[in-house]
Amino acid sequence: DAGVIQSPRHEVTEMGQEVTLRCKPISGHDYLFWYRQTMMRGLELLIYFNNNVPIDDSGMPEDRFSAKMPNASFSTLKIQPSEPRDSAVYFCASSFGSGGGNTDTQYFGPGTRLTVL
Amino acid sequence: SQQGEEDPQALSIQEGENATMNCSYKTSINNLQWYRQNSGRGLVHLILIRSNEREKHSGRLRVTLDTSKKSSSLLITASRAADTASYFCATVRTGRRALTFGSGTRLQVQP
């Protein structure tokens, strides 16, 4: 299996521009998570989906952030308009929720390093 | 927000020595997991321990969990230079699915 695939790996943009991050989860996994890593706040959950449906978006910073999962093999995280404080590494992870949450292992993609100038 | 803290924040040891990292958390949990992150890379899952387990082994890794103290430890025995990385504990809270991460421990193994 190719693992979780994220694109792009690096993104540099200017403040005010729209940014779209993409994720392909591991085939057969029914949970997909978006996390963000910064020096100040560490690793934190943004949103997660179960069977393509958003379950918990309480970590999404504000209305500038939106996430979609149109099918089981693709998800996007969009920031519009982007701001310098959005600079971070964004990780996508997926898991197979067979254990009722007790034994789920999450598999992480390599991340997208976003820099907003 | 982060679930808890890890200590030490940084640890430097010689190859062959053991490394112990500690993690504390705040809420009731389903399980606790440890991840490794090499510089500039993604997170790699190391081991998962359920809330009803007290100790678990995987190769050179030993994890303990004390739910009464809301704490866990990760022991890496006979460390190698390739173990140099940041190590994060992460909890899955009761009734939830997402991971809540600790602040991480940066481990440096000197060859």
* pLDDT one-digit tens code per residue, B31-66: 999 999 998 888 999 999 999 999 999 999 999 999
Query: Is residue B37 within 8 Å of residue B44, measured between CB atoms?
Result: yes
Straight-line distance from the first to the last Cα atom of chain A, in angstroms, rounded to the nearest whole number: 36
- The pair phi, psi for residue A85, each rounded to 5°, is -70, -10
Contacts of B34 (CB under 8 A, 6+ apart): B45, B46, B47, B61, B63, B72, B74, B87, B88, B89, B90
**Residue A103: its pLDDT value, please?**
64
Distance CA B51, CA A4 (A): 27
The answer to whether the CB atoms of B92 and A101 lie below 8 A apart is yes
* pLDDT tens-digit map of B91-100: 988 888 899 9
Task: Give rounded-to-5 percent helix, strand, coil for chain B.
Answer: 5, 60, 40
Distance CA A20, CA A8 (A): 9
Mean pLDDT by 10 residues, chain A (117 residues): 91 97 96 95 94 93 93 96 96 82 80 97
Q: Burial code of A3-28, b = ≥16 C-beta within 10 A, e = fewer?
A: ebebeeeebebeeeeebebbbbbbee
Give me the residue from A50, A101, A105 closest to B30, CB to CB. Answer: A101
**Residue A28: its pLDDT value, please?**
92
Q: What is the mean pLDDT of residues B77-88?
A: 97
Of B92, B109, B102, give the one whose Cα is nearest residue B13.
Answer: B109
Question: Which band of pLDDT confidence, cut at 50, 70 and 90, is reported for residue B1?
Answer: very low
The answer to whether the CB atoms of A50 and B42 lie below 8 A apart is no
- The pair phi, psi for residue B83, each rounded to 5°, is -80, -10
Give me the residue from A31, A35, A111 closest to B97, CB to CB. Answer: A31
Collapsed DSSP state (helix, strand, coil) of residue B82: helix
Collapsed DSSP state (helix, strand, coil) of residue B81: helix
CB-CB neighbours of A89 under 10 Å? 19
Interface of A with B in 57-86 (CB under 8 A): none
Distance CA B13, CA B19 (A): 7
Please state, rounded to an integer, the average pLDDT across all residues of chain A.
93
Asked whether residue B4 carries a pLDDT value surpassing 60, the answer given is yes
The answer to whether the CB atoms of A109 and B44 lie below 8 A apart is no
Q: Burial code of B48-73, b = ≥16 C-beta within 10 A, e = fewer?
A: bbbeeeeebeeeeebbbbeeeebbbb
**Residue B5: its pLDDT value, please?**
80
Of A25, A36, A16, give the one whose Cα is nearest residue A112.
Answer: A36
